[in-house]
């Protein structure tokens, strides 16, 4: 899950009726992250917030445009894994069958036409309408570089 807090995007989780946002950069009001075993982390920071302090909480689904089709993705080093459950698309674009109804293919940045991010509000924000963002060109290069 993600949230928008103070105009920025953060990962967020709900634990014991509290919302915990995390950041890899120390910001005002954030403390070192403490995991479930009580270990303090110096490379991850957290802040406990209330639902009314964030603008929205949502899940994200990312889709990559590849040869005029759209597929889900995962990032691995310098390549991007896309997948589909469509046998027809898998045959047309030479995907590898991993298991029943799961076909994957590794592609390079040059093969990515655009990225579509679907934001689905959840929890206290589930009544807000779903939104989408299309990222292309230089903005896409920047967005992809943050994933690796």
Q: For residue range 9-67, what is the model confidence (pLDDT) as tens digits?
A: 999 999 888 899 999 999 999 999 988 899 999 999 999 999 999 999 999 988 888 87
Provide the pLDDT for residue 125.
93
Res 108 pLDDT > 60: yes
pLDDT confidence bin for 71, thresholds 50/70/90: low
Question: Which pLDDT does position 107 carry in this prediction?
Answer: 87
Which residues, in sequence order, are CB contacts of 108 under 8 Å at separation 6+? 78, 79, 80
User: Average pLDDT over the chain, rounded to whole?
Assistant: 88
CA dihedral 133, 139, 144, 145 (to 10 degrees): -150
Tell me what pLDDT residue 6 has. Answer: 93
Question: Residue 21 is encoded by which pair of tokens?
Answer: 């946002």
Higher pLDDT, 70 or 35: 35
- Region 90-94: mean pLDDT is 91
Task: Give the pLDDT confidence score for residue 15 in this predicted structure.
Answer: 86
Please report the pLDDT score of residue 79 as a whole number. Answer: 76
Question: In angstroms, how far is the first alpha carbon of the chain from the final one?
Answer: 19
- Please state, in angstroms and rounded to a whole number, the distance separating the CA atoms of residues 118 and 136: 15
């Amino acid at each position: 899950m993600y949230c928008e807090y103070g105009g920025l995007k953060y990962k967020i989780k709900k634990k014991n009726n509290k919302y915990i946002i995390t950041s890899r950069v120390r910001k005002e009001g954030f403390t070192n992250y403490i995991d479930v075993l009580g270990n303090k982390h110096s490379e991850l920071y957290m802040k406990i917030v209330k639902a009314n302090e964030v603008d929205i909480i949502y899940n994200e689904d990312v889709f990559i445009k590849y040869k005029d089709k759209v597929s889900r993705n995962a990032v691995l080093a310098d390549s991007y894994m896309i997948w589909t459950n469509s046998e027809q698309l898998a045959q047309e674009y030479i995907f590898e069958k991993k298991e029943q109804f799961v076909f994957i293919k590794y592609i390079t940045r040059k093969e990515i036409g655009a990225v579509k991010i679907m934001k689905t509000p959840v929890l206290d924000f589930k009544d807000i309408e779903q939104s989408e963002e299309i990222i292309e060109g230089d903005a896409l290069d920047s967005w992809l570089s943050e994933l690796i």
